[in-house]
Amino acid sequence: MTKYFLLSCSFAIAACGGGETASSEPSALADGSTSIADIQGSGSSSPLQGQSVMISAIVSGDFQTNDRDTASDLGGFYVQSETSDQDSKSSTGIFVFEGDSTKNDVAVGDRVEVRGTVEEFFGETQIKATSVRVTGNGIIRPADIDLPSTGVMRNASGDYIADLERYEGMLVRFPQRLTVTNLRNLERFGEVGLSQGGRLFQFTNNHAPSAPKYENHRKAVAARSIVLDDGKRSSNPTAIRYLNAGSKADYSLRGGDSISAATGNLRFSRASGRSGEQTWRLMPTETIVFDSNNARPGAPEVGGSLRVASFNVLNYFSHIDNGKANCGYKRRHSCRGADSKKELDRQRAKIVSALALMDSHIVGLIEVENDTGTSMNDLVDALNNRIGGGDYQYVDTGSINTDAIKTGFIYSASNVRAVGAFALLNSSIDARFKENLNRPALAQSFEVLNSGAVLTVIVNHLKSKGSSCDSAGDRNMRDGQGNCNLVRRDAANAIADWIKTDPTKSDDPDYLIIGDLNAYPKEDPLMALRNAGLENLLDEQPDSYSFVFNGQAGALDYALATPSLRSQVVDTIAWHINADEPSLLDYNLEHGRDPDLLDADSPYRAADHDPIVIGLELTR
């Protein structure tokens, strides 16, 4: 394979691949063949690249096209030497590429004689076969690999990955329990991200920002990680190999589930051979069965007579995305969300299913289209139709600022009423709150009808980490906080000071701050809110999370209480209906997706963020 930058060897499997180069003139074996170890070498690529070779080896993985095995298709097969007296830095396995023209239908355990040319395919050493002949049989037993890896390396994109070069092409087994951490590309490439030692978490979810420690975190994550591939060349497969591969009935794969003793051939490639992330992939040679360690949750149970929730609904636009800039504020923005009426119906049904099961009296919504009220009204009407009657109403804010999206409130009118006018925090109130980057904070007071107690809720959506704020003098410091940390920190300080002014004139100190703050718990914005006397209601729950990015879970969605409110909080949970679910279960119909995968009556994967649900027993 093509090897990039080898880094530290401070983690933990056997030998760490080196940078030596095998001789380009290997001696022939007794039968006149070339050893696979000599072809693989231990350098940046095969020392025999471009040369014609003949090998004699045992088939360890059958991934041929148009053969008896229709579940796997890589256009070839893996072979491995039986001898074990090899240089520990050189693999004894290799992929034989045939393409669509199978030279000879082989099976695992066949001894084959292969003639062909040594090539490098996107970093993987292969033999492009000109002839294949079955000559006998033999047995290859998998080599055990324990993660974390001894060292890490960089791929062609500069990202850290485990250094497993010495095992390239070999039949291997990961005997440890590995946890499902990344399902982003399950649909497109049939891949499942796995990690040793449990779930992966964002660095600043549990650690203070630090550039050197964040760099070490990135290496440690790479050393713990491997990708389970579906063993196919094609993208967007009709059948999703691992979606229902569990040991229980009605199983659906979720983040946090696990697998033990996964066995297959180790490949270095991009997804489906040419696209996606370049990394180490396990091509399965045995049936894969997952354990359901993270079962789907039922309705949220938080106690208290008043329930408040924060829910990022992932771009709910009642105006369909037709490619034109006719959405959002004054219909000036590019549309987001549904691309057709069918997708909009599916999206609405999923969100309403979640809202109905959530059964909260006040819900702060994030990422609703910033129109004059059409999208909020559309959701409320659908929710009322679902539960019967006309109980839910929305706070009519009209358009807020000039962005494509906004925040908003819906509430159960039989339990609470909106008191007074809503209030907005923007640059005109506090120059530290940059409304061109953050969405304005929206505050509304509510009175509980059966007690007269008043609560003010502020729903927020701060600047994301997804784009640069260099033009605002806010560089990414590579300390784990990502882009725009100072923009979010300044906004947090402005929110804390705004609360002290009682912006809704409620004359009540009970304030609840909810929403998507786009910062992890140990980052500067959350520290600013804590320092102002606000308490993060999820702080007592270790490893809290509401979102998964790059296979690492973290908390971006929050509920924070003023001191007077804290004693009235019964419980707070992140309701894990979204972040752990594969995105292929959402409303979209992209990539030729099977429309029957959607369960409109289920809340699971209604959006990408998990809702936060708070139970309260207000005493005043």
The answer to whether 443 and 457 have CB atoms below 8 angstroms apart is yes
77, 109, 137: which is the final residue of a domain?
137
pLDDT in tens, 12-59: 333 333 333 334 455 677 788 999 999 999 876 899 999 999 999 999
Are 28 and 118 in the same domain?
yes
The answer to whether residue 419 is domain-embedded is: yes
Are 461 and 572 in the same domain?
yes
The answer to whether residue 449 is domain-embedded is: yes
Residue 77 φ/ψ, nearest 5 degrees = -155, 160
**Count of beta carbons in the 10 Å neighbourhood of residue 121:** 17
The answer to whether residue 324 is domain-embedded is: yes
pLDDT in tens, 285-297: 999 999 999 999 9
Predicted confidence at residue 68, as pLDDT, reads 79
pLDDT in tens, 447-460: 999 999 999 999 99
The answer to whether residue 297 is domain-embedded is: no
Are 242 and 353 in the same domain?
no
Radius of gyration from C-alpha coordinates of the chain: 28
Are 114 and 147 in the same domain?
no
- Owner of token pair 């009209």: 398
Are 379 and 452 in the same domain?
yes
Max CA pair span of the chain? 92
The answer to whether 558 and 613 have CB atoms below 8 angstroms apart is no
509 class by beta-carbon count within 10 Å (0-12 exposed, 13-18 middle, 19+ buried): middle
Task: For residue 148, give its domain range.
Answer: 143-284
The answer to whether residue 86 is domain-embedded is: yes
The CATH number given to whatever domain includes residue 337 is 3.60.10.10
Predicted confidence at residue 45, as pLDDT, reads 86
Are 253 and 360 in the same domain?
no
Are 536 and 566 in the same domain?
yes
The answer to whether residue 429 is domain-embedded is: yes
Are 455 and 520 in the same domain?
yes
Amino acid identity at 555 = A
Give 3-state DSSP helix, strand, coil % of the chain, rounded to 5.
Answer: 15, 35, 50
Domain count, the chain: 3
pLDDT in tens, 95-142: 999 999 888 999 999 999 999 999 999 889 999 999 999 999 999 999
Are 150 and 131 in the same domain?
no
The answer to whether residue 590 is domain-embedded is: yes
Percent of the chain with pLDDT over 90: 87
Q: Give the separation between CA 482 and CA 419, rounded to whole angstroms.
A: 38
Residue 597 φ/ψ, nearest 5 degrees = -70, -25
pTM across the whole model: 0.93
Are 112 and 235 in the same domain?
no
The answer to whether residue 245 is domain-embedded is: yes
Q: Give the separation between CA 448 and CA 466, rounded to whole angstroms.
A: 38
Are 249 and 339 in the same domain?
no
Are 126 and 151 in the same domain?
no
* pLDDT of residue 613 exceeding 80: yes
